[in-house]
Structure 1
Amino acid sequence: MQLSSILAPERTLCNLPGVSKKRFLTTISEHIAKTTPGMSGDAIYTALLAREQLGSTGIGNGIGIPHCRVAECQRTTGALITLSEGIDFDAVDAQQVDLLFVLIVPVEETAEHLKVLGALARLFHQDAFCQALRACKSNDELFQTAIHFDEHTD
């Protein structure tokens, strides 16, 4: 999986205010819907919230990978976000989360969903990648850093 196939500059947000998990999920659901034709913020939010109720997608070290499958989603879509301050995300290590990748996948794409999640987990478990993303100061820098790192890493 290449990050550039699922991430776009308009879905890369640097230093969003950190408020709460539900507020973040609401905000990012609306943003993804606005930047992705055919999707509704309500459908995305409902699916993300349902997934979080099964267990937190906070994977530790300040990282969250909220993900879900949505019926109206036509192709795998991602959003990369850094927060200005961490939020409680019920992470496995109880640390505040400040670096998130939101993944929305078509309902019928179970294998794709698992494949992309695995690739994202491997990428976000690399300290250098996460440090580089956290150091970014603009949306464009965040997007370029993520794509560059992904293209130059095994």
Structure 2
Amino acid sequence: MPLEKMLSANRVLCGTECTSKKRALEALAELISSSVPALKADDLFQQLITRERLGSTGIGEGIAIPHCRFPTGGVSICAVMTLNNAIDFDSVDNTPVDLIFAMLVPEDADNDHLQNLAALAEALQGTDYAKTLRGAGSNNALYTAAVAPFKES
């Protein structure tokens, strides 16, 4: 599923102030919940933090892709957030994180989400894509930059 179908303009936050991984995950849960009322922020946060306890989703180069499953049927949901100040995320390379993509997948989804995670991780690492996202100066610019490489032709 293309990123533009999982991410909406109201699920991006540019230049967010977060002081910890916990606060970043809370902000993402609140952001997603505000655009998908059926998903409660507290429940999402618990799902994200539970997944994070299994192993950090900090993939290196200042990037994290926290993800989890959610019980409500439907389609996968993404959110993206850039941080004004990088935070410790227990990343594989110990680099503080300033770019976070969250991905939520329905519990009954097949393994397509693994392909989506892999495609996103590949796009973010070692390319200009992450640099472009970090350079976005507004929520709208961040959304446009986030979906541009994934638009279906």
TM-score by length of 1: 0.93
Shift of 1:113: 2.0
Match of 1:141 in 2: 141
- The change in CA–CA distance for 1:112 and 1:104 in structure 2 (over 3 A counts) is same
Could you tell me which runs of 5 or more consecutive residues in structure 2 were left unpaired when the two chains were aligned: none
Match of 1:84 in 2: 84
Specify the alignment match of 2:125 in structure 1.
125
Equivalent residue number for residue 74 of structure 2 = 74
Comparing 31-40 and 77-86, the one that deviates more: 31-40
Matching residue of 1:58: 58
Q: CA deviation at 1:73?
A: 5.0
Q: RMSD of the TM alignment (CA)?
A: 1.6
Quote the Cα distance in structure 2 between the aligned partners of 1:96 and 1:26: 18
Residues 37-48 of structure 1: matches in 2 within 5 Å?
37-48=37-48
**1:43–1:55: structure 2 CA closer, same or farther, 3 Å change rule?**
same
Letter of the structure 2 residue corresponding to residue 17 of structure 1: E
What amino acid sits opposite 1:9 in the alignment? A
Q: Return the TM-score normalized by structure 2.
A: 0.94
8 Å CA contact 1:15–1:83 kept in 2: the answer is: yes
Identity, in percent, stands at: 39
Structure 1 consecutive aligned stretches of length 4 or more whose deviation exceeds 6 Å: none
Query: Who is 1:11 aligned against?
Result: 11
Report the count of equivalent residues.
153
Give the Cα–Cα distance (whole angstroms) in 1 for the partners of residues 84 and 127 of structure 2.
19
Equivalent-residue separation in structure 2 for 1:105 and 1:148 (angstroms): 22
- Unaligned 5+ runs, structure 1: none
